[in-house]
Amino acid sequence: MIKVGIVGGTGYTGVELLRLLAQHPQVEIAVITSRGEAGLPVATMFPNLRGHVDLAFSAPDLKTLLTCDVVFFATPNGIAMQQVPALLAAGIKVIDLAADFRLKDADEWAHWYGMPHACPELLAEAVYGLPEVNRDAIRSARLVANPGCYPTAVQLGFLPLLKAGLIDTQHLVADVKSGVSGAGRKAEVHSLLCETSESFKAYGVAGHRHLPEIRQGLAKAHGASVGLTFVPHLTPMIRGIHATLYARATASSVDLQALFEQAYASEPFVDVMPAGSHPETRSVKGANTCRLSVFRPQGGDTIVVLSVIDNLVKGAAGQAVQNMNIMCGFDERAGLQQIGLLP
């Protein structure tokens, strides 16, 4: 058994971490912090956890966190980087669900997140926590940067094509839709029911914070820079991400279905669907699964990949638990075998 702490447990990713970790056979949840809700029983805020989590929220306290084996940060951007150095110095493993350690370039991070990085010396060490790419590095990591939701769906869709050298890497297009929970639990006008229901819109077309993260991952796989147009959209649903990815083929004789099936044959949380399938977001709701399908419409030179995940699970908390399992030598599937909810 390991002791786990969660910093910032009142948001949607925080409650998802609690839901998953409460069912984990190797985990004891030792502390859940919230500056604003200190003293409030967790089950009072999140009744779905009644009978499963008996702790109360506590004020952030380094001494308490130092009793843990692993600490998750489910905090806004810019918080983890203030506390991570002290935890690492004490020998504690850290998984950050925010963006503090995802980008390797401190100047680029400051550009996109609007603040200087507090510990740029750790950016090189931080392991990007996409297990399908970095599993070996995650095993020995002290600090894991959990990927963003959009980057997870987009990278898993493009990676087999990039690694096989089958596409024009300078004209990639990612057209991605997200449920409203991706905006977080904070009360803001743009995420109110009357603002999002029965409406559909693009946003961040000129530049979204996940763009450099996606480009960084795809460039690493390709071995050189890539050209990517990334357009996120907000859809009137609570959970889910659907990525429609476009790339121009540079080879015509490859069996794309076989390529994807072979690429992910040993991956426990990537499901390549039968040829001709159209994955739905509802099929992964509550599950740590990415479902993919690949097409070459009308036999032309455009390849289309469809990728769906639950933004709060494989796109956040579930992937964080998957990373913890790898870091701690547990079965990678431990605590993550929930089946998607239908309808």
DSSP single-letter state for residue 314: I
> In whole angstroms, what separates CA 71 from the centre of its chain?
17
Q: Which residues are catalytic?
A: 149
**Residues 6+ positions from 188 with CB-CB distance below 8 Å:** none
Phi, psi of 233 (to 5 degrees): -135, 150
* Angstrom distance (rounded) from CA 332 to CA 136: 13
Only one residue has tokens 């099936």, namely 261
**3-class secondary structure, 10:** coil
* Angstrom distance (rounded) from CA 330 to CA 307: 27
Query: What is the full DSSP assignment across 29-92?
Result: EEEEE-SSSTT-BHHHH-GGGTTT---B-B---HHHHTT-SEEEE-S-TTSHHHHHHHHHHTT-
